[in-house]
């Protein structure tokens, strides 16, 4: 069904009429939203080939079939798709190349990384390429290979900040701290001082409320760049940098002050304890200070020694609200007067103890209820670790008493847990066997020949009998396969084979491996819980879903890649 639609889309995508192309890309977008699709490999290969071929001249930004076709096939990262992306890479539109790079990075294969290094270096010789620096963060050696050839681009506006981000990733990974310091340091200092002039236009009038209600992106871009520069100063240090850091300790923006004080701590530069306390108490940076110090094994320097959890809960709710999607009616979300009211101790779906805080806050002269948490209590009563479920439904605080708000919260959690445990996150059934597909091909060929040569009484009965028997066999196999399923339902991995069913909780899995024919699931005792034929799943996709649904566990199982 999907295959015929996709082939129609491929034809329309190359049509000279822009309206026809627009219709095709709209249909492709709709198909992309459907979950659990399985597409025949020959169709995916044709989509890749088409994406690498010439298209009519573009009439608008949306008119980029090459990108949308590659974006679609990248949802099916099977080995044949990966091979096709590499083979036809040079023919793609530049945006399609950027999307293909994101998927190729996920393979984490050495040969493919050599390929990507060459292609990214080549693309950086243009002015339109967007370096996928966030995706590259996990691969510092690949970053180093790219920078070894392209560092001179640091002085080019188009690539400056992406290269700074890559330099930060390379240094924080510890691969080569102070990488090419003789080149980077003078440019970093020059760029920081230029950006500082932009920041100082805001500094005197700085308030948190101005940032999120008035200045917005015009300021947040400057802040982001300043934070990046200050962070890099930990690795590119000099006497002049030390002077800049001392000045930054007096900035009114708590994020910049925090970045500066963290570098001062790492470089044993002087700072006031009151400055660190100020950053730790600020609604914007309280969490940042704690976690940055903890990551550096300097948690003992965190100045708030007691009741960290309720203090950090205020910052968590503040961050949750200001990062909500912008309202269509233009209403600006900015919570004020955030106050802890009560707490609820409960458990997550895996039986681990959690704590949520009931808070109230005001916005546009209305007081609302909100929740921050859940803080994991396994490591202590005042731990900062959390499974983030902070939210507000903007329910007026006066609409219920404290117990009423708590009951509403517990009821909502119970409904969410029930919905989660009954949600099917992954489902796969075996396809028709090769024998069945071979028979169908023979059947189509046979009837085509009969139609071409004409029927006669001697062969028509045999043809009908052949069709009935073979068709019955295929229908039987289809019906049988519908009762064979591998599913992730809630926190359970489930195997169904007719009336027989096996299941195991995600937290009870020790490992998942496979051989040539089967996928094998082992329990915590390292005993085989059950196995199923490998052809029942598209293993690459099954692997991704299993990683997604087990990665948060304290003892995540081994999932063979």
Q: Which residues contact residue 508 at a Cβ distance below 8 angstroms, ignoring those fewer than 6 apart?
A: 523, 524, 529
**Contact 478/526 with Cβ under 8 angstroms?**
no
> What's CA 65's distance to the chain center, in Å?
24
pLDDT at residue 184 is higher than 80:
yes
pLDDT of residue 421: 87
Query: Distance between CA atoms of 28 and 9, rounded to whole angstroms?
Result: 7
First-to-final CA distance of the chain: 30
Judgement on whether residues 398 and 351 belong to the same structural domain of the protein: yes
The secondary structure of 49-96, three-state, reads HHHCCCCCCCCCCCCCHHHHHHHHHCCCCCHHHHHHHHHCHHHCCHHH
Determine the average pLDDT of the residues in 378-402: 92
In sequence order, the β-bridge partners of residue 531 are 520
pLDDT of residue 435: 54
Judgement on whether residues 330 and 441 belong to the same structural domain of the protein: no
Q: Kindly state whether residue 168 falls inside one of the protein's structural domains.
A: yes
Determine the average pLDDT of the residues in 544-549: 88
pLDDT of residue 463: 56
Q: Which of 265, 293, 321 is the last residue of a domain?
A: 293
Judgement on whether residues 61 and 123 belong to the same structural domain of the protein: no
Q: Kindly state whether residue 343 falls inside one of the protein's structural domains.
A: yes
pLDDT of residue 48: 96
Question: How many residues would you count in the chain?
Answer: 561
Judgement on whether residues 433 and 416 belong to the same structural domain of the protein: no
Determine the average pLDDT of the residues in 413-436: 79
**Contact 336/362 with Cβ under 8 angstroms?**
yes
Query: Distance between CA atoms of 279 and 162, rounded to whole angstroms?
Result: 28
pLDDT tens for 68-91 read 999 999 998 888 999 999 999 999
Tokens read off for 370: 């909100």
In sequence order, the β-bridge partners of residue 244 are none
Q: Which of 179, 197, 213 is the last residue of a domain?
A: 179
pLDDT tens for 443-488 read 555 555 655 666 565 555 555 555 555 555 555 556 666 778 899 9
φ and ψ at residue 333, rounded to 5 degrees: -90, 115
Question: Could you count the other beta carbons within 10 Å of the beta carbon of residue 282?
Answer: 18
pLDDT at residue 427 is higher than 90:
no
φ and ψ at residue 160, rounded to 5 degrees: -50, -55
Query: Distance between CA atoms of 431 and 535, rounded to whole angstroms?
Result: 8
**What pLDDT band is residue 429 in, cutting at 50, 70 and 90?**
confident
Give burial (CB, 10 Å; 0-12/13-18/19+) of 90: exposed
φ and ψ at residue 334, rounded to 5 degrees: -150, 105
Backbone CA torsion sign across 481, 487, 489, 494: positive
Judgement on whether residues 257 and 173 belong to the same structural domain of the protein: no
Domain that holds residue 172: 113-179
Q: Kindly state whether residue 13 falls inside one of the protein's structural domains.
A: yes
Domain count, the chain: 5
pLDDT tens for 21-65 read 999 999 999 988 887 777 888 999 999 999 999 999 999 999 999
**Contact 472/440 with Cβ under 8 angstroms?**
no
pLDDT of residue 91: 96
pLDDT of residue 446: 52
**What pLDDT band is residue 117 in, cutting at 50, 70 and 90?**
very high
Judgement on whether residues 410 and 495 belong to the same structural domain of the protein: no
Judgement on whether residues 96 and 216 belong to the same structural domain of the protein: no
Query: Distance between CA atoms of 443 and 329, rounded to whole angstroms?
Result: 60
Query: Distance between CA atoms of 481 and 462, rounded to whole angstroms?
Result: 28
pLDDT of residue 38: 77
φ and ψ at residue 243, rounded to 5 degrees: -65, -40
pLDDT of residue 10: 93
pLDDT of residue 468: 56
pLDDT of residue 540: 82
Q: Which of 146, 163, 179 is the last residue of a domain?
A: 179
In whole angstroms, how large is the CA radius of gyration of the chain? 29
Q: Which of 177-186, 382-391, 398-407 has the lowest mean pLDDT?
A: 382-391
Is the pTM for the entire model greater than 0.85?
A: no
pLDDT tens for 487-534 read 999 989 999 988 889 999 998 999 999 998 899 999 999 999 999 988
pLDDT at residue 398 is higher than 70:
yes
Judgement on whether residues 336 and 270 belong to the same structural domain of the protein: no
Q: Kindly state whether residue 302 falls inside one of the protein's structural domains.
A: no
CATH number of the domain bearing residue 530: 2.30.29
- For residues 467 and 536, the model is more confident at 536
Tokens read off for 120: 């990214």
Judgement on whether residues 409 and 448 belong to the same structural domain of the protein: no
pLDDT at residue 201 is higher than 70:
yes
pLDDT tens for 269-317 read 999 999 999 999 999 999 999 999 999 999 999 999 999 999 999 999 9
**Contact 466/396 with Cβ under 8 angstroms?**
no
Q: Kindly state whether residue 346 falls inside one of the protein's structural domains.
A: yes
Determine the average pLDDT of the residues in 206-210: 96
Determine the average pLDDT of the residues in 228-235: 98
pLDDT of residue 455: 57
pLDDT of residue 347: 87
């Amino acid at each position: 069904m999907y295959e015929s639609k996709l082939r129609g889309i491929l034809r329309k995508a190359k049509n000279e009429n822009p309206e026809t192309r627009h219709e095709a890309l709209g249909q492709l977008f709709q198909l992309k939203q459907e979950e659990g699709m399985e597409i025949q490999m020959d169709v995916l290969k044709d989509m890749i080939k088409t994406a690498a071929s010439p298209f009519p001249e573009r009439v608008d930004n949306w008119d980029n079939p090459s990108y949308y076709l590659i974006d679609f096939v990248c949802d099916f990262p099977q080995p044949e798709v990966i091979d096709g992306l590499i083979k036809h890479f040079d023919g793609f539109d530049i945006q399609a190349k950027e999307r293909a790079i994101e998927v190729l990075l996920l393979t984490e294969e050495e040969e493919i990384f050599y390929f990507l290094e060459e292609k990214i270096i080549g693309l950086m010789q243009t002015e339109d390429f967007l370096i996928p620096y966030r995706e590259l963060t996990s691969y510092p050696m690949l970053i180093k290979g790219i920078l070894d050839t392209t560092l001179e681009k640091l002085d080019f506006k188009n690539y400056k900040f992406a290269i700074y981000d890559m330099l930060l990733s390379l240094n924080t990974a510890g691969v080569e701290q102070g990488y090419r310091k003789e080149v980077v340091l003078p440019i970093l200092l020059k760029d920081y001082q230029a950006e500082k002039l932009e920041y100082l236009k805001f500094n005197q009038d700085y308030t948190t409320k101005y940032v999120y209600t008035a200045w917005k992106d015009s300021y947040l871009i400057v802040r982001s760049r300043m934070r990046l520069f200050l962070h890099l100063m930990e690795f590119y240090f000099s006497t002049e940098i030390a002077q800049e850091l001392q000045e930054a300790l007096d900035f009114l923006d708590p994020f910049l002050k925090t970045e500066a004080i963290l570098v001062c701590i790492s470089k044993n530069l002087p700072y006031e304890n009151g400055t660190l306390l100020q950053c730790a108490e600020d609604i914007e940076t309280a969490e940042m200070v704690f976690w940055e110090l903890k990551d550096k094994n300097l948690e003992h320097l965190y100045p708030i020694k007691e009741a960290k959890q309720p203090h950090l809960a205020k910052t968590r709710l503040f961050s949750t609200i200001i990062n909500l999607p912008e309202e269509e009616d233009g209403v600006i979300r900015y919570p004020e007067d955030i106050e802890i009211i009560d707490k609820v101790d409960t458990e997550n779906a895996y039986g681990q103890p959690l704590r949520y805080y009931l808070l109230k806050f005001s916005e546009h002269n209305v007081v609302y209820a909100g929740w921050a948490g859940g803080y994991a209590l396994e490591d202590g009563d005042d731990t900062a670790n959390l499974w983030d479920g902070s939210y507000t439904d903007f329910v007026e605080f006066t609409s219920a008493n404290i117990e009423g708000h708590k009951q509403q919260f517990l009821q909502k959690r119970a409904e969410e847990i029930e919905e989660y445990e009954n949600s099917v996150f992954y489902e796969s059934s075996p396809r028709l066997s090769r024998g069945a597909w071979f028979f169908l091909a023979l059947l189509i060929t046979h009837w085509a020949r009969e139609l071409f040569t004409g029927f006669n009484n001697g062969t028509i009965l045999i043809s009908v009998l052949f069709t009935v028997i073979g068709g019955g066999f295929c229908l039987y196999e289809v019906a049988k396969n519908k009762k064979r399923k591998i599913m992730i339902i809630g926190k359970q991995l489930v195997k169904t084979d007719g009336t027989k069913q096996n299941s195991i909780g995600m937290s009870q899995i020790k490992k998942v491996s496979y051989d040539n024919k089967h996928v094998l699931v082992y329990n915590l005792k390292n005993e085989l819980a059950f196995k199923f034929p490998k052809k029942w799943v598209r293993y690459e996709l099954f692997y991704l879903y299993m990683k997604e649904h087990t990665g948060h566990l304290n003892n995540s199982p081994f999932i063979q890649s």
